[in-house]
Amino acid sequence: MRSGWLQCVVVALSLVFFSSCGSSSKSGFIYLVTQGTSPGLVTAYSVNLGNGLLNSSNGALVQTGNSVKAGTQPTLMLFDPTSSFAYVANFISNDISLFTVNKGGSLTAASSTTPLTNAVRPAGMAMDPGAHFLFVANQGLVASNSNPTAIPGNLSVFSIGSGGALTEVAGSPFAIRETSPPLPFNTVPPFPSAVAVAHSGNFVYVADQANNALVSFSFDSSSGALTPIAEGCPQCFGTVVGTAPSALLSPPVGDFLYAANSSSNDIYQFVINTDGTLSPLNTSATATTIATGQGPISMITDPTGKYLFSLANQGSDVTAYTLNQVTGELTAITGNGGTISTGANPVAFVLRSDDTRDGNFWLFVSNNGGSSISTYSMQGLTGKLTALPQLTSPLAPYGIGSR
């Protein structure tokens, strides 16, 4: 089991889709979180939406405007559905940075960050489709000789107000163990690594990497308060998945949930029932699991939910799948462009359309180990990827978003 900031899963990294009929020659923006300074930085880069090329010189990114400061060791980046504001989770300073997106694409940081209360090491962020609440999975801290106080892994919930302002809801943070039936006495403390919100229904799912399980909650649509969902197993507190789950995704169509496991290198496929419980895809026509790259760390889909992409941190590649919107079954896309190499140790990616109704898509990957950005064109008819030039980025990139 891996530990530390590299586990931050990018459950949900920003997926932005524009369906206007404007010219594909106009520019958009890619936003990159980097950890090479303290505090970390968020920087904007312009991208030509006609060809997917980022602004660069001599093989290196050229930024647009000034960088803005985040917290200490920033990781995840998440935009609201309108791309009006963005959040960055800071793994060491244990807080959330808020940024407003200006008309010209630049970012303005809020006057202060939002601290996590009784929680440390944010490892996953997700937002409900209506952008009412922000859910933050926190890894916690095990007691040691240097730090004798243990802080359990848990789930923080914030209501989202005007301008994206965050207010922690009553009862937050919520315990991962607070489920029925109770946690067995011989199970290790929870180690949350990812969080996802169901596409439909008020359900939240947390990956507990230490116990190879998913823990399910329902949330109140008014208050944001969480209620544990019992999965019905006499000796377990959640749904068992593969080894070291590290990424969760509920696609924009259907009632499905996917859990990528970083040590068993596979994706577990589930149906979300009407009460929020999970049932595996195990009919004669579908399989419960499907193989993926080595050390998966994040998953995204295209806006229509036709394709799913899995990002492998240890394998340094992206694997593409078709997604059956009726059964939820994933099928690996074979041949050239089905699995494609990235830079070293990718940690996050984002998909961006070219702003035309039937146009192209571009996939941008943040390579933390290689301090680079990989770009790919995506064929809308096949889901296959074609590599564009890889560019050098500032030191230690992590979260990535688009507008």
Structure tokens at 144: 């040691």
Residue 41 · residue 378 · CB < 8 Å:
no
This prediction has a pTM of 0.90
Q: Rounded distance, CA 42 to CA 104, Å?
A: 16
- pLDDT at position 358 is 65
pLDDT of residue 313: 98
pLDDT value for 104: 87
Q: Identify residue 377 by its one-letter amino acid code.
A: S
Report the C-alpha gap between 251 and 328 in whole angstroms: 9
pLDDT of residue 145: 73
Reported as a single tens digit per residue, the pLDDT across 306-365 is 999 999 999 999 999 999 999 999 999 999 999 999 999 999 999 998 877 667 899 999
Contact 362, 347 (CB under 8 A): no
End-to-end CA distance of the chain: 35
Task: State the greatest distance between any 2 C-alpha atoms of the chain, in Å, as a whole number.
Answer: 60
Q: Which residues contact 57 (CB under 8 A, 6 or more apart)?
A: none
Q: Which residues pair with 376 in a beta bridge?
A: 363, 387
Whole-angstrom distance, CA of residue 132 vs CA of residue 92: 26
3-state secondary structure of 204: strand
User: What is the residue range of 390's domain?
Assistant: 5-402
What's the confidence (pLDDT) of residue 180?
A: 42
179-223 pLDDT, tens digit each: 444 445 446 788 999 999 999 989 999 999 988 889 999 999 999
User: What is the model's pLDDT at position 4?
Assistant: 47
If you write DSSP's letter for every residue of 82-138 in order, what string do you get?
TSSEEEEEETTTTEEEEEEEPTTS-EEE-SS-EEPSS---EEEEEE-TTS-EEEEEE
**Can you tell me the distance from the alpha carbon of 141 to that of 120, in angstroms, rounded to the nearest whole number?**
7
Res 49: pLDDT: 92
pLDDT value at position 5? 43
CA angle 100, 124, 365 (to 5 degrees): 75
Give the per-residue pLDDT at 226: 96
Averages of pLDDT over each 10 residues, the chain, 403 residues: 42 38 68 97 96 96 96 97 96 97 93 95 96 97 74 95 96 76 59 96 94 93 93 58 95 96 96 92 73 98 95 98 94 95 98 80 97 95 94 98 94
27 CB contacts (<8 Å, ≥6 apart)? 46, 47, 48, 49
Q: How many domains does the chain have?
A: 1
- Residue entry with tokens 């909650």: 217
Q: What is the pLDDT of residue 142?
A: 76
pLDDT of residue 110: 95
Query: 159 is written with which tokens?
Result: 């209501």
Measured distance CA(40)–CA(362) in Å, rounded: 26
pLDDT of 149 reads 78
Q: Indicate which CATH number applies to the domain containing 242.
A: 2.130.10.10
Q: Copy the structure tokens of residue 225.
A: 């308060």
What's the CA gap between 272 and 255, in Å, rounded? 5
The residues that bridge with 269 in the sheet, in sequence order, are 258
pLDDT at 6: 44
